Structures are given as C-alpha cells and as structure tokens.
Amino acid sequence: MYNEFYFVVDYASGTPSYCDPLYMERRFLTKESDIYSLGVVLFEMMCGRLAILKDHKDEHRTLVSLVKQYYKEGKLNELVFEGIRDKVVPKPLITFQTIAYRCLSVEREERPTAREVALQLKRALDFQEDFEIRVAKLQSDYKEIMRMLNVYSNTSQKDLYHMSPKESYFKTEKCACHKAAMEK
C-alpha cells in the first residue's frame, strides 16, 4: 500500500536545515524529501559539524550552502572532519561525497533512491575495508621481508648472487652482488 503513494501533504515539523527546499516552497513531502535530509546527515558525518551553526551569521551558517560552495570550487575534501581525514582513502571518500551530494539535488527527480544510496554507501565501505586489508597484508609482508633481510644480512654478496634466480635483480650488472661475484 505504501508504494501507491508518491507524496504526502502534511505539516511537517523539524529543523529547517534538514528540510527539502521544495517542501519549504510547495509544502509537499515525498520520499525524495527524506533523501534530501539524509544527504544533510551524511555531510554532517563527513564534516563533523551540525547542519546549522547558530553562532555563524554568514553564508557558512548552513552546512548545505557550505558544501555546495566548496563542491563548485572543487574543495569538498577540505570539509572532511580532521578526525577521519587521514584514515579514509580517496576512492571511498569520493563515492561517499558523490552520493551525498546527489541527495542534495534541488530537483527531486535528480536525487538517488534510498536503495541507490544504500548501495553506494556499501560500495564506499567495501573500498575502505579492501584498502585496510591490503595495508595490513603489506605490513605483514614488510615484516617478512625484514626478517628475511636479517637472515641474509650475514650472507656474503657472492652467496646472495648464487642463491638468487637467474632473472633477479641480484644478477644484473647494476647490483653490487653481481660485481662481487664476478670479481671472485
């Protein structure tokens, strides 16, 4: 039965900073109005600030105006909360920002569906987790390489040369191992 209705006429209450601008103008609430509000909340999370700052009296008072200005100037990354700035990698951040920004579209038809928002947020999470898994793997590989280097640190260059495969770096003329092996 819910799917039969595309809009609801209502006297909604809430904080104006989260309200769909078209609701403020026409007094029609739709499921796309909720998507707009979700976009505001997503940017609150990303920026680490509220949708409205009462102590600001300029154009940066509302988060949506600030986000739109920074987006147009190509500086959206400057708004990322410093507590997560160094932890999130570009691909998931761009995915998150893109879907959140689309939620703030003025035209309701341009806003994503709730399903699309959920899929894109999941995708951003997957990108971030994949990166973190790869970093952990690189760290363990690095530790293994360092362990191996310690084992071979007492090995002569000539022995390293003979232990390495034919096509390895150790057997190129640029390597000290090659030169040491050729001298003896």
More confident residue, 169 or 19: 19
More confident residue, 41 or 180: 41
CA dihedral 159, 160, 165, 171 (to 10 degrees): -100
Q: d(Cα 100, Cα 121) in Å, to the nearest integer?
A: 9
Radius of gyration of the chain (CA): 28
Q: d(Cα 159, Cα 172) in Å, to the nearest integer?
A: 15
Percentage of the residues of the chain whose pLDDT score is greater than 90: 42
Query: At 121, which amino acid appears?
Result: L
Query: Does residue 156 contact residue 180 with C-beta atoms inside 8 Å?
Result: yes
Burial of 72 (0-12, 13-18, 19+ CB in 10 A): exposed
Q: d(Cα 175, Cα 20) in Å, to the nearest integer?
A: 66
Q: Is the pLDDT of residue 80 over 70?
A: yes
Residue 117 pLDDT grade (very low, low, confident, very high; cuts 50, 70, 90) = very high
C-alpha angle 52-67-27 in degrees, rounded to nearest 5: 60
The predicted model gives 22-33 an average pLDDT of 80
* 106 token code pair: 């003025």
DSSP lists the bridge partners of residue 8 as 29
Q: d(Cα 74, Cα 176) in Å, to the nearest integer?
A: 48
The predicted model gives 138-162 an average pLDDT of 63
